């Protein structure tokens, strides 16, 4: 399966038509793709522009992170971004601002089926997230008959199958959480652990040094623990060099770029180049 892209249902009209006519909940594409046996390459989106999101959806990334924690992304915005990616081969991951029952309920009902939660510090917090995401009797997610996730009631088996088709990614971002990563990974219902080097560096006394080798080493050690638990491991890379290292190290999904950094970094380089010419 090496080199294979995510399953692209947009290229299979017959399959797409059958899915609509059968009115059954489709298999989670991200969960399926994690079994391909190669790292999934992703991009972080902070610009909150659906035009940018849609364009990036066709750029060749496996997944795109809609950032509801550090970007001004509302629930309505998140829905718009998911719609923009709907016809593309790129899968949306929605990061919420916090591990919160109400936020989870509203975004799940809105159709987010791959959720990332920041700053999960221990197994208890991870278990709470699992409970918030699942319908009874396995959890406490509120039940609605009509919402976007069920195509407004047109998927009759949504309530029966939602629990198994949702993906929960919890972020481990502090030195304290790293010490408990094995316990967090062992929580049933947690599908993957994602490592954030920025907050981890800060918790290690190295604020603003996400690319420090000591931070990368800690993350690599934790990845091995996660894999030993049978769960998937993802990471945000602070620069292209470390992104390549993470891919070679065996991470299951890696964020290799950021839309804001691409735009503003390129803009600065262009401005500096032509300003230097103008000053001569």
**HEC per residue, 51-71:** HHHHHHHCCCCCEEEEECCCC
Which residue from 152, 151, 128 is spatially nearest to 140, judged by alpha carbons?
A: 128
Spatial contact of 106 and 113, defined as CB atoms under 8 Å apart:
no
- How would you classify residue 202: left for phi > 0, otherwise alpha for psi between -120 and 50, otherwise beta? alpha
Tell me phi and psi for residue 132, to 5 degrees: -65, -30
| Among 15, 16, 70, 175, the one annotated catalytic | 70
Residue 7 burial (10 A CB sphere; 0-12, 13-18, 19+): middle
Based on the residue annotation, tell me whether 70 is a catalytic residue of this protein.
Answer: yes
C-alpha 136/C-alpha 141 separation (Å) is 7
Active-site residues, by number, are 70
């Amino acid at each position: 399966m090496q080199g294979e892209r995510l399953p692209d249902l947009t290229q299979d009209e017959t399959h797409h038509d059958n899915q609509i006519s059968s009115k059954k909940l489709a298999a989670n594409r991200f969960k399926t793709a994690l079994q391909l046996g190669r790292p999934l390459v992703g991009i972080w989106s902070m610009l909150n522009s659906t035009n940018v999101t849609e364009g990036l959806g066709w750029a060749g990334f496996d997944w795109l992170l809609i950032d509801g924690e550090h970007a001004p992304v509302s629930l309505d915005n998140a829905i718009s971004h998911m719609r923009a990616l709907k016809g593309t081969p790129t899968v949306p991951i929605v990061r919420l601002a916090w591990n919160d029952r109400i936020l989870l309920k509203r975004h799940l009902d809105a159709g987010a089926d791959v959720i990332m939660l920041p700053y999960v510090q221990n197994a208890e917090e991870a278990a709470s997230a699992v409970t918030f995401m699942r319908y009874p009797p396995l959890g406490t997610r509120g039940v609605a008959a009509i919402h976007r996730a069920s195509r407004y009631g047109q998927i009759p088996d949504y309530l029966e199958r939602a629990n198994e088709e949702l993906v929960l990614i919890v972020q481990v971002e502090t030195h304290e959480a790293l010490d408990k990563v094995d316990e967090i990974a062992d929580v049933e219902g947690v599908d993957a652990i994602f490592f954030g080097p920025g907050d981890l560096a800060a918790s290690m006394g190295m604020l603003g040094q996400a690319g420090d080798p000591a931070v990368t080493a800690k993350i690599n050690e934790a990845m091995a623990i996660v894999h030993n638990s049978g769960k998937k491991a993802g990471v945000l890379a602070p620069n292209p060099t470390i992104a390549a290292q993470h891919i070679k190290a065996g991470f299951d999904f890696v964020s290799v770029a950021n839309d804001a950094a691409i735009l503003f970094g390129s803009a600065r380089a262009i401005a500096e180049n032509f300003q230097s010419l103008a000053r001569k």
